[in-house]
Structure 1
Amino acid sequence: MAENYKHSSFKQLLEKLQEESWQLELIISGFAIYGLFVAFDPISITVKESQNEQQIYTFIISLVAMVSCAILIFNLLLHVILRGLWIGALGLRYVSGDIEYEKLKYSQKFTRYLRRKVGSFDKYIATLENYCSIIFAISFLLIFYVLAFTLIIIAIALIATFIIGNEELPGWLSQGFGITFMLFIIFGMILTFFDFITQGWLKKKQWISKIYFPVYWVFSILTLSFLYRPLVYNFLDNKFGKRLSFLLVPIYLVILIITSLNYRTSNYLDTDQSSSSIYANSQNYEDEIDQKDEFIRGVAIPSKVIKNNFLKIFIHYSENIESRVFDYNEGLKPEKDRRGLSTNIQFGTDWASLGTRDSLTREYIKTFNEIYRVEIDSVEFDNDFILAQGIRSDLGFETYVGIKELSEGKHMLNVSRKRIREEDTSWWRVANIPFWYYPD
């Protein structure tokens, strides 16, 4: 079966498929565009949620997925537009044939110019066909490029975290091997990128290619390029495909710049800033977080106007909070940090472990209450935070403080946390939220 590609019948089949491939391209593009548009919003919400919760691995994965979706949507929409133009040109050719410049009765100067620049109608149709086929193929190739870049960044992060930054490893392994391996990855990435943009210059030089080959071999595995390498070399030996693939890169950069543009209406006023005595950010008020892509920014209270004689305060949980708890109470720091990717599959139940975990959770909450402080108008209030879920079912810490003694009008809630630097204790502001108290 592996030798079938050498048979003439297989080559005839490929030629027939090439002639009919435009139908498959349109079908795949249509379904893909629909699916990508459906998936884009949930993925972008996941990006914002993981960024808000400081989940670095989820953020990277979802960001790569979002970028890949954006690339595919743009390329496939462009492909459908050009393929529609190609179909229209075929229909027009059936009706009117080729361009007859003599019937236009233009002057000799314009006739010669149009013959040279526009050419025949068949050439125009062939050019459109080439554009459509190459754009369709390169759409999926670019996804692999994005994936390759992501895998390299992840490799650098893993080396820095689990080898260089691992205090349990001996120095010769963490520093000697770790730093050497990191430098190899970084310089290998630079060489691979240089070889890519120069269209294989390092592979063409006899003595350099011998040095570059081990790097090429390692990065072919690291970036999974062995999956799409035939597609790459097929592009490189085609001048038209090579030109188009390099033309798309600046187009993506222009689109990125255009989408980042926004119109400012003021030199001083801005909606994207933290709450303060002169600004109330909607992400600090639960009743104003009504969009799927909006999340609590650190701390939230029920509303700007408080009518009850108590105030609910919710602090959104992040991994940084747990790291601070470990810094202040080293007894809570486990021997093995289980944060990160894990599975819910368990074999058996260790009831003794569950009891220990419950007592440690109580100590965890106690330490949290010692670290965080609640003040209203610079007056400290007793806080007793407990674990709770927010309006998005997100994990956090919740408490209620009595405010019936407050006067009517505007007040400032200040949530701060303890900070120790070189045995000097200070309080670091976490949130400063304005609210108005008007009891019923």
Structure 2
Amino acid sequence: MTEEPLHSTELDSQQEEKLRDLTSQSWNLELVISGAAMFAILQLPDLLDVAFGYFRFNMLSHTTGMLGLLPSMVYSIMKAICYVLFAAFLTNFVMRAFWVGLVGLLSVYPTGIHYDRIPFTPRYTQEKMAARFGSLQNYIINLDRRCNIVFAVSFLIVFIFIIVALGYVVGIIGYTVIRPMIPDQYAFLIKVAAIGLLIVYMAAATILSLPAVRSTPRGAELHYRFSNLLRFLYWGLSKPFGFIINTFYSHIPSKKMLRVMGMMTFLFIIVMIVNFFTDFTRQNKQVSVLNTRFLYSARYDSLFVKAESYDDKRAEGTYIETASVQSDVIREPFIRLFVAYPKALDTLLTELTTALVLDGSRPVQERRRKYATWSSEQINKLMQIRINDSLYTDPKLLFTLRENPGQQGWQTVLFPKNLKTGQNYLNIVIQPLDKQKPTEIATIPFWYSAE
């Protein structure tokens, strides 16, 4: 007994006529949408850079290990999606513009190509060309279909970008807002439970996907219900996403579909990897992955000059990684020092400092003044600054906020007496009060030349 095909095309004649009119006039909207989308997508990488920079300095509590690497990987995935999305809309725009040109050409020559009229060409070549190229009318129709497919695939990529972006935002909220509220002993149990649920889900998905299980009525029902468990991850886009992807699934042979998806996935992974290493090298200029030299090493601060460590060399709007002085060549008898205060450093200082307990019955202004004074005392005790062989155990750091890009930190002005003409070093460390091993923040080389 054969199964009846399942498809929904119950349209009356008026609806079919309206649909034909819409599809025949969609090309002009495609050009407008593709052009607008390309312009918008060109702005996304810069916006992502700003957003990721803010997240990295103000929300990321760990910059090493997997916790520090994972945000960079997701950030690279989102940028790779932007580049692929731009390429998709650009491809559709070029193909559709070419299609418009061919339609115009056909309006001038309605009969298309006459291969037997091509001059300076023998009959054999004319027959081969006719068999190879076919009619202009058929080519225009096929090109129109391919443009429509590329346009639909572009929106699939748009949906994927939205899904990844919203998932990343929710992850950031959970990591920065919800996670600190959970005690460490419960956080470990939650991680174990989450990993266990993930293992159970993967095992159930594998079992329910087996043909022997799906072929049974009960197995088919369970497979359908199980596949809908994670619909919330689509953020309300499951229906439009399903319309496009199921249309492809129902018309393209499965082997061809898998081959195309595999090729697109491979190309996307290549773009993501290249973008990840490029961004990683750009964020950490002391790491060179794709451009190495035999006698070149940037691993040690004392042997590497970073432009962001000097106020007159740093690009406007750039975050300061660790610390900065006024210039790489200092002529004044003082050093104006800024020390950045990112979230990762705040995590370290929180571990090294016992929180101040304030009397809640005291006035608000008094409590604020007391907390500010205590905070200043703590950071000036913990942070030690050394210029060459001179140690500043109390560097008189004051709180400050750089306006562009709004970066918190400390600032002080030092008047060293041991500056020598030529190369000098400024070293910053966090020295715990219990004399444990210090944590190095930065080492800035600079040159001194008296005016």
Q: For the superposition of Structure 1 and Structure 2, which TM-score range results when normalised by the shorter chain?
A: 0.7 to 0.9
Alpha-carbon distance in 1 for matches of 2:319, 2:172 = 27
1:236 aligns with 2:249: yes
CA drift of 1:51 comes to 3.1
CA drift of 1:151 comes to 5.4
Contact 2:74 2:168 in 1 (8 A): no
Contact 1:412 1:433 in 2 (8 A): yes
Deviation per residue, 1:405-432 (Å, 9 max, x gap): 4232211111111259xx7701122111
Alpha-carbon distance in 1 for matches of 2:76, 2:368 = 34
Contact 1:289 1:295 in 2 (8 A): no
Contact 1:419 1:427 in 2 (8 A): yes
Aligned to 1:78: 91
The 3 A distance-change label for structure 1 pair 66 and 369 is same
Q: Give the stretch that moved more between structures: 211-220 or 406-415.
A: 211-220
The 3 A distance-change label for structure 1 pair 42 and 91 is same
Contact 1:301 1:313 in 2 (8 A): yes
Alpha-carbon distance in 2 for matches of 1:164, 1:403 = 44
- Counterpart among 5, 24, 28 of residue 19 in structure 1: 24
Aligned amino acid, residue 300 of structure 1: S
CA drift of 1:388 comes to 0.8
Contact 2:60 2:344 in 1 (8 A): no
Contact 1:383 1:399 in 2 (8 A): yes
1:102 aligns with 2:116: yes
Aligned to 1:123: 138
For the aligned residues, what is the CA RMSD?
4.2
1:276 aligns with 2:301: yes
Aligned to 1:266: 293
Contact 2:30 2:151 in 1 (8 A): yes
- Counterpart among 216, 219, 224 of residue 227 in structure 2: 216
Q: Tell me the secondary structure at the aligned position of residue 326 of structure 1.
A: helix
Aligned to 2:283: none
Matches within 5 A, 1:25-40: 25-40=30-45
CA drift of 1:209 comes to 4.2
Contact 1:5 1:11 in 2 (8 A): no
Q: Tell me the secondary structure at the aligned position of residue 232 of structure 1.
A: helix
Contact 1:298 1:430 in 2 (8 A): yes
Which protein has greater RCO, CA pairs closer than 8 Å, 6+ apart? 2
Alpha-carbon distance in 2 for matches of 1:321, 1:217 = 43
Aligned to 1:373: 384
Aligned amino acid, residue 36 of structure 1: I
CA drift of 1:20 comes to 0.2
Identity of aligned residues (%): 18
The 3 A distance-change label for structure 1 pair 190 and 12 is farther
Where do 5+ consecutive residues of structure 2 fail to align?
1-8, 62-69, 279-288
Contact 2:311 2:325 in 1 (8 A): yes
When the two structures are superposed, what TM-score results if normalisation uses the length of structure 2? 0.75
Alpha-carbon distance in 1 for matches of 2:171, 2:211 = 26
Deviation per residue, 1:131-158 (Å, 9 max, x gap): 2112212212213223434556677787
- Counterpart among 388, 398, 405 of residue 386 in structure 1: 398
Matches within 5 A, 1:47-66: 47-53=52-58, 55=60, 66=79
Q: Tell me the secondary structure at the aligned position of residue 338 of structure 2.
A: strand
Where do 5+ consecutive residues of structure 1 fail to align?
335-349
Q: Give the stretch that moved more between structures: 61-70 or 132-141.
A: 61-70
Deviation per residue, 1:373-396 (Å, 9 max, x gap): 100113212411111123624211
CA drift of 1:330 comes to 2.6
- Counterpart among 374, 392, 409 of residue 396 in structure 1: 409
Alignment coverage as a number of residue pairs: 412
The 3 A distance-change label for structure 1 pair 258 and 415 is closer
Q: Tell me the secondary structure at the aligned position of residue 295 of structure 1.
A: coil
Alpha-carbon distance in 1 for matches of 2:142, 2:48 = 36
CA drift of 1:220 comes to 0.9
